[in-house]
Amino acid sequence: MANRCTRIPEIMFPREGVDLSKWAVIACDQYTSQPDYWAETDKTVGDAPSTLRLTLPEVYLEDADVAARTEKIHQTMQQYVQDGTLRTLPAGVVLTERWSGGSCPRRGIVLSVDLEAYEYTPGSASLIRPTEKTVVERIPPRLKVRQGACLELPHIMILIDDPDRQIIEPLFEQTASYDKLYDTDLMQNGGHITGWFLPNGPETEAIEAKLEALCDRETFNKKYGCTDAQALLPYAVGDGNHSMATAKAYWEEVKKGLTAEEQENHPARFALVEVVNIHDESLIIEPIHRALFGVDADELLGALTDFYNGEGCKAYVADEAPKSENAHFFPFCSANKSGVFIVENPKWAIPVATIQTGLDAYLETHTSAKIDYIHGTDVVVSLAEKPGNLGFILPDIAKNDLFRGVVFDGVLPRKTFSMGEAHEKRYYMEAKTIVK
């Protein structure tokens, strides 16, 4: 069982009769610059039982009353448990299908993962790793909410790389034989979600065994063209990494007071997540482009050329994309210059890692220059027309490259990719206890 990172949880869920369209609320780290969204959510919920009362929307993190809000959250958690608003289901998993406006739904499995198998520090070789850099400063305010909480409501989405769709997708051909746990619209443009409950038994054992097979060394090496020198990566945190990092920090605290035996099954050791196949058709992975401000185009391109040449690559500016397959290239534009910046024989596995490493080095020595991360090529082009600005267009990210990038380069550079719009993020629905 050395590579089994999952655990079949005892999920907590609202009792019959709770209005789930008011219960389920979007992840707390969304709409952080839009207090109106949260005011409207508050109005929609009213006095009804809701996960809004069990989480702290991050729009309020800097407010003066954050300590009082946190205390109220802890009290409401206790109240929902004591008055039966939340009930504990038998051990099992939930299959979840979420329609949020696209042409196909997102399908996932809600289960627990072992925080002992997760590490967010750079260079980690743990079986569960973040895709992007964890900003450690973001953990303490979130930890305050978790300390004193009796349960967790996760918005964590963990990705697996299953191109043949063997693990999650076949389960949805059998939903007619499963118990439907929920079927509800989601507030504020969130679409519709359905969940089916699978009790612990042969079916969940088969799911866990297939997930465990993602750790098969021979298959893994073949999939990514790597050797045993690269750490296995069956699970990558796609969304909610700071929530996962907070759960880990909390577990490390709790663990100190426990014997080895008590640590084995302590509820805080396991985090509730939704596991989704990166090849799920609903997941649209979009590149995030780079816009630079306060730069001279020739000077910037010259400095980048020198940087990559110094790293043993061959870098140059051309009018069009290179013929060479062993090259990363980036169309660029500015007020008086456009072309393609090319890096041959790159040291990095994916293009975004190549360009961001060079830009980071440049920005370190050019403190008056600024960078922004932009969705949509049209926005980059319009920004780049202004004097002193330059935009790099990044290529689309192949789904296979996302895992490859983490396997070979470690965590991906910040702002590598965007996965869905704000309203498509996970809504809180299931809960799990984190106290004995």
Output the pLDDT for position 412: 82
Whether residues 297 and 274 fall in one domain:
no
Confidence of residue 419 (pLDDT cuts 50, 70, 90): confident
In this structure, is residue 409 part of a structural domain? no
Mean of per-residue pLDDT scores for the chain: 95
In this structure, is residue 406 part of a structural domain? no
In this structure, is residue 90 part of a structural domain? yes
Q: What is the mean pLDDT of residues 294-301?
A: 98
pLDDT value at 95 more than 90: yes
Whether residues 272 and 164 fall in one domain:
yes
In this structure, is residue 265 part of a structural domain? yes
Find the range with the poorest average confidence among 21-30, 261-270, 277-286, 298-307. 277-286
Whether residues 188 and 323 fall in one domain:
no
Whether residues 297 and 273 fall in one domain:
no
Whether residues 310 and 245 fall in one domain:
no
Interval 280-297: pLDDT, tens: 999 988 888 999 999 999
pLDDT value at 420 more than 90: no
Could you tell me which residue, 415 or 241, shows the higher pLDDT? 241
Interval 257-272: pLDDT, tens: 999 999 999 999 999 9
Give me the percent of the chain exceeding a pLDDT of 90: 85
Q: What is the mean pLDDT of residues 328-356?
A: 96
Residue range(s) defining the domain that contains residue 33:
6-282+420-433
Give me the percent of the chain exceeding a pLDDT of 70: 100
In this structure, is residue 408 part of a structural domain? no
Output the pLDDT for position 2: 62
Whether residues 349 and 225 fall in one domain:
no
Output the pLDDT for position 1: 46
Whether residues 262 and 298 fall in one domain:
no
Output the pLDDT for position 324: 85
Listed residue (231, 177, 163, 171) closest to 3, CA to CA: 231
In this structure, is residue 304 part of a structural domain? yes
In this structure, is residue 407 part of a structural domain? no
Could you tell me which residue, 83 or 375, shows the higher pLDDT? 83
Q: What is the mean pLDDT of residues 398-415?
A: 84
Whether residues 143 and 229 fall in one domain:
yes
Whether residues 123 and 271 fall in one domain:
yes
Output the pLDDT for position 214: 96
Give how many domains the chain has, as a whole number: 2
In this structure, is residue 224 part of a structural domain? yes
Interval 207-221: pLDDT, tens: 999 999 999 999 999
Tokens of 289: 């482009």
Confidence of residue 410 (pLDDT cuts 50, 70, 90): confident
Q: What is the mean pLDDT of residues 354-380?
A: 94
Whether residues 33 and 109 fall in one domain:
yes
Whether residues 77 and 55 fall in one domain:
yes
Whether residues 200 and 313 fall in one domain:
no
